[in-house]
Amino acid sequence: MDRSNAFGIAAPLPAARDVLELLKPVTWFPPIWAFTCGVVSSGVPIAERWPFLIAGVLLTGPLVCGTSQAINDWFDRHVDAINEPHRPIPSGRIAGSWGLWIAVIGTALSLLVAWATGPLVFAATCLGVACAWGYSAPPFRFKVSGIWGPAVVALTYEGLTWFTGATVMAGAWPGAPVLIVLVLYSIGAHGIMTLNDFKAVEGDRATGLRSLPVLLGVGPAARVACVVMAVPQIAVIALLWGWGHHAVAAIVALLLLGQIALMRRLLRDPLANTPWYNATGTSLYVLGMLAAAFGLGGVAGL
């Protein structure tokens, strides 16, 4: 039903199913996984922090990640009208300025929940929300850069959500081992985000997005992504070994060797094999994150 709503938007009220589609629940899994790694790495029993745990899951999944999807779709609505006209905003199912207001409301709710959770989580959420707007919105629009775009996504999806998980459990700044490992896995995730750019090379080239596959070519970009994914994991293995967690270090090493074996097939035809690698090699990467988190649960207080 057309009506003027509280924001003065003369447009149909969007259906709940269309709002949910805009927020893309399928994208919530990676940050929630990293949040879980943070929870495990804290070494704090879950039973002691249930309310904070629930708040953290809401923040990292439907609130901050969902809001980032709404922001991205709003600022990409003109491109989506050409490439993906079936999406909620270009199709008109979310009409007028509702796409923008959903992003604004999501931002406000994220900050409100974060404020109630604690100052460190609030600070991390402020940074995450700022990155979400900066990634898609002018004047920054980090997504046009093959360096800054993947870096911003890797930081928010892996590092900040891991930090949030550790912080909501401990109620304090995480120990140095946790911070070091979450930074290393965030750096490695830059390579994963670069692989995600392979599916849109032609569209990126046509619209002026300077992704690494556009700048370097598909083959060289794939090799760079593999190195960026592997090197931080080598550092994690060395650190875990040095901290005396030999079994966990061995597990992460085996998972890395599996990735390297799979990378050989990826590099033979990156465009064709990236979806396959995302389902296999990337899965081994995030399993290594969780294994490292279990090791950190015993050294977080160092």
Dump pLDDT digits (tens) for 169-200: 988 899 999 999 999 999 999 999 999 888 77
Task: Using alpha carbons, list the distances in angstroms from residue 116 to 44, 59, 171.
Answer: 20, 11, 12
CB atoms within 10 A of CB 89: 26
Q: What are the structure tokens assigned to 15, written together?
A: 């259906």
> Are 175 and 168 spatial neighbours (Cβ–Cβ below 8 Å)?
no
Q: Please report the pLDDT score of residue 302 as a whole number.
A: 41
Q: Please report the pLDDT score of residue 9 as a whole number.
A: 52
Q: Please report the pLDDT score of residue 78 as a whole number.
A: 84
* pLDDT, mean over the chain: 90
Q: Which residues contact 59 (CB under 8 A, 6 or more apart)?
A: 110, 113, 114, 117, 121, 125, 164
Q: If you classify domain 15-173 with CATH, what class do you get?
A: mainly alpha
Give residue 27's identity as a one-letter amino acid code.
T
Query: How far, rounded to the nearest angstrom, does the alpha carbon of residue 261 sit from its chain's CA centroid?
Result: 25
Looking at domain 175-302, does it have CATH number 2.60.120? no
Q: Please report the pLDDT score of residue 180 as a whole number.
A: 97
DSSP 8-state secondary structure symbol assigned to residue 132:
H
Q: Please report the pLDDT score of residue 10 as a whole number.
A: 59
Q: Please report the pLDDT score of residue 137 as a whole number.
A: 94
Ramachandran category for residue 160: left, alpha or beta (phi over 0 → left; psi -120 to 50 → alpha): alpha
Task: Using alpha carbons, list the distances in angstroms from residue 287 to 15, 37, 282.
Answer: 37, 10, 9
175-302 matches 15-173 in CATH topology: no
Q: Please report the pLDDT score of residue 8 as a whole number.
A: 44
- Structure pTM? 0.90
Q: Which residues contact 249 (CB under 8 A, 6 or more apart)?
A: 237, 238, 240, 241, 295
Handedness of CA 206, 211, 214, 219 (dihedral sign): negative
Domain ranges for the chain, please list them: 15-173, 175-302
> Which residues of the chain carry a pLDDT beneath 70?
1-10, 203-204, 207-208, 299-302
Give the C-alpha separation, 293 to 18, whole Å: 36
> Are 69 and 27 spatial neighbours (Cβ–Cβ below 8 Å)?
yes
Q: SS3 helix, strand, coil % of the chain, rounded to 5?
A: 80, 5, 20
Angle between helix axes 161-170 and 176-196 (nearest 10 degrees) is 150
DSSP 8-state secondary structure symbol assigned to residue 146:
T
Q: What are the structure tokens assigned to 264, written together?
A: 């050989």
Q: What is the dihedral of CA 203, 132, 212, 27, to 10 degrees?
A: -70
Tell me: cis bond preceding 139? Omega within 30 of 0 counts: yes
